[in-house]
């Protein structure tokens, strides 16, 4: 189960809460981690800044 990636897109304009996390946990277990696109961008920015120091 290691070294796998899952990419998903959810509609945040809906008034109800997306059920993505419970589904992911049922399918792949609780030992998973998720990141939003915004968080990935912040991580990349920090990595680029670290390369220049």
pLDDT at res. 39: 92
- pLDDT band for 46, please (50, 70, 90 cuts): very high
- pLDDT band for 45, please (50, 70, 90 cuts): very high
The DSSP output letter for 18 is: P
pLDDT at res. 18: 73
- pLDDT band for 17, please (50, 70, 90 cuts): low
pLDDT at res. 7: 85
Three-class DSSP category at 34: coil
Cβ–Cβ under 8 Å, residues 35 and 24? no
């Amino acid at each position: 189960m290691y070294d796998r990636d899952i990419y998903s897109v959810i509609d945040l304009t809906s008034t109800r809460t997306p059920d993505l996390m419970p589904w992911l946990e049922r399918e792949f277990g609780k030992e998973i981690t998720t990141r939003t696109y915004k968080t990935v961008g912040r991580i990349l920015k920090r990595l680029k800044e670290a390369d220049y120091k």
